[in-house]
Amino acid sequence: MTDTLESPSVASISRLTVPEVDTLPQALQDQIASLERQLGYVPNWIRAFALGGAHTARFNTYLLALLDPNSGVLPYVDREILATVSSAENGCSYCRLNHAGSLGDAIGDNKIGTRVAVDYREVRELSARHRTLADFAAKLSAEPGEVDDADIDTLRALGLNDEEIFEAVHVVSAFAAANRFSIFLQVTPDDQFFN
């Protein structure tokens, strides 16, 4: 007899309790509804993270604003490069899969988005700008104490100002937190990632 894999139920998308939406703070309910309108489904990460209640709502406000295509000082595609590489370097399968698709959409090439999520170092097609941002995201994710003035100078040589550099740090840092939540909770990737 062979074991078969089943599609995850709401209760199995996380190692911990997944609260009912109607029991959550209104701000978090609103975020869930907004994501459902935007994506056409409720992503597993927000349901799994919802256990944090008001803390999660505040974190989501921060995280979602960093990746809003219509905000930020860095172009959206730059922020997606940072998020995708950070997720890969941190070993977060959920975020890696999620942002492989988002990066592919932003670049206009899903294959490159997926390849960056696997290992950006093997993607020859990356522009010099995106390779430099990816290198920065990888270093800040894996060895934050090793980031030095030369790394900042390299970003400035791309034309980034201090506000843009600091926004890059925000994206990488926010994803360090989100990756750790996802890894700890073992959030099940959404079926939509595989369509």
1 pLDDT band, cuts 50/70/90, is very low
Percent over 70 (pLDDT), the chain: 94
Please provide the CATH number assigned to the domain covering 76-185.
Answer: 1.20.1290.10
CATH 1.20.5 in the chain is located at: 20-66
| DSSP alpha helix (H) spans, the chain | 26-39, 44-49, 54-66, 76-90, 93-107, 110-119, 128-142, 149-157, 162-185
Segments of the chain assigned to CATH 1.20.1290.10: 76-185
pTM of the model: 0.93
Query: What sign does the CA torsion over 173, 74, 107, 143 have?
Result: negative
Q: Which CATH architecture describes the domain 20-66?
A: Up-down Bundle (1.20)
What are 141-190's pLDDT values in tens digits? Answer: 999 999 999 999 999 999 999 999 999 999 999 999 999 999 999 999 99
Question: Which two three-digit tokens encode residue 53?
Answer: 């209640």
Q: What is the pLDDT of residue 7?
A: 45
Res. 72: pLDDT tops 90: yes
- Name the pLDDT band for 195 (thresholds 50, 70, 90): confident
Query: For residue 171, what are the contacts with CB-CB under 8 A and spacing of at least 6?
Result: 66, 67, 74, 79, 82, 83, 86, 137
